[in-house]
Amino acid sequence: MKSMAKMKYHYGLKMRCYPSDQQKRLIKINSDASRFIYNEMVAIGKELMQLRRVKLPIDTVQDRIKQLTMRQNAKQMSNHYQFLEDERIDSLAKANAIQNYRKAWNAFRKVHSAGVPKFHRKSYRWRYQTNCQYPGQKTALLTNGTVCFLDNSHVKVPKIGLLRVAGSQARLLKRMRETRIGTVTLTKDSADRFFLSMQLASDESFVEAPKADHGHIGIDLNTDNFLTDSEGNIVPNPRYYRTIKGKLVKEQRILSRRQRRAKKEHRFLRDSKNYQKQRLLVAKLHAKVMNQRHNFLQQISTALIKNHDLVVAEELRSKNMLKNHALALSISDVGWRSFLGMLAYKADLYGRQFITVSPRNTTQTCHNCGFVMGINGTVKLTLADRKWTCPNCGTHHIRDWNAAKNILDKGIAKLAYLICPYGNLGT
Assess if residue 254 is contained within a domain.
yes
180 with 318, same domain: the answer is: no
> Looking at the structure, do residues 355 and 403 belong to the same domain, yes or no?
yes
- Residue 295 inside a domain? The answer is yes
Concatenated DSSP letters for 90-137? -HHHHHHHHHHHHHHHHHHHHHS-S-S--PPPP-S-EEEEEE---TT-
Assess whether 290 and 408 both reside in one domain: yes
Q: Is 90 a catalytic residue?
A: no
Q: Are 72 and 41 in contact (CB under 8 A)?
A: yes
Q: What residue type is assigned to position 355 of the chain?
A: I
One domain, residues 340 and 216: yes
Predicted TM-score (pTM) of the model is: 0.85
Instruction: Judge whether 233 lies within some domain.
Output: yes
Whether 3 is covered by a domain: the verdict is no
**Residues 6+ positions from 83 with CB-CB distance below 8 Å:** none
Q: Where are the beta strands (DSSP E) in 271-395?
A: 308-314, 353-357, 387-389
| pLDDT per residue as tens digits for the range 108-144 | 888 766 788 999 999 999 999 999 999 988 889 999 9
Number of domains comprising the chain: 2
Straight-line distance from the first to the last Cα atom of the chain, in angstroms, rounded to the nearest whole number: 50
For residue 327, the model assigns a pLDDT of 59
| pLDDT over 50 at 427, yes or no | no
The H or E element spanning position 294 is helix 273-307
14-24 tens-digit pLDDT: 999 999 999 99
Helices (H), 308-393: 318-321, 328-334, 336-350
Nearest Cα to 403, choosing from 417, 420, 388, 421? Answer: 388
Helix (H) or strand (E) holding 180: strand 180-188
To which H or E segment does residue 200 belong? Answer: strand 194-202
348 is annotated as an active-site residue: no
Catalytic residue among 40, 90, 229, 314: 314
Residue % of the chain over a pLDDT of 90: 59
**Which among 354, 349, 351, 361 has a CA at the least distance from the CA of 402?**
361
Tell me what pLDDT residue 157 has: 96
Domain boundary among 149, 180, 202: 202
Range(s) of the domain holding residue 53: 9-202
* Amino acid (1-letter code) at residue 229: D
Do residues 112 and 30 share a domain?
Answer: yes
- Same structural domain, 18 and 161: yes
* Maximum mean pLDDT: which of 37-41, 55-59, 385-389: 37-41
pLDDT of 426 strictly over 60: no
Q: Which residues contact 184 (CB under 8 A, 6 or more apart)?
A: 129, 130, 131, 132, 147, 157, 196, 197, 198, 199
Residue 347's identity, in one-letter code, is: A
How far apart, in whole angstroms, are the C-alpha atoms of residue 409 and residue 367? Answer: 9
On whether residue 1 sits in a domain, the answer given is: no
Annotation says 271 is catalytic = no
Closest CA to 46 of 120, 119, 106: 119
One of 40, 229, 333, 400 is an active-site residue; which one? 400
Q: Which of 389, 365, 388, 386 is nearest to 375 (CA)?
A: 365
pLDDT score of 325 more than 70: no
Residue 304 — φ and ψ, nearest 5°? -65, -45
Same domain, 345 and 251: yes
Say if residue 149 is in the same domain as residue 235. Answer: no
Catalytic residue (choose from 220, 229, 333, 409): 220
Mean pLDDT on 252-280: 94
- Cβ neighbors of 209 (< 8 A, separation 6 or more) are 306, 350, 351, 352
Q: Is residue 385 part of a domain?
A: yes
C-alpha span between 268 and 264 (Å, rounded): 10
d(CA 308, CA 347): 10
119: which residues sit within 8 A by CB, 6+ positions away?
Answer: 39, 42, 43
- What are 204-261's pLDDT values in tens digits? 888 887 777 778 999 998 877 889 999 989 999 888 888 899 999 999 999 999 999 9
CA distances from 365 to 79, 169, 199, 369 (A): 67, 47, 44, 8
Is the pLDDT at 27 greater than 80, yes or no? yes
Which of 158, 184, 202 finishes a domain?
202
Confidence of residue 375 (pLDDT cuts 50, 70, 90): confident
Average pLDDT in the 397-402 region? 91
Q: Work out the mean pLDDT of the chain and round it to a whole number.
A: 89
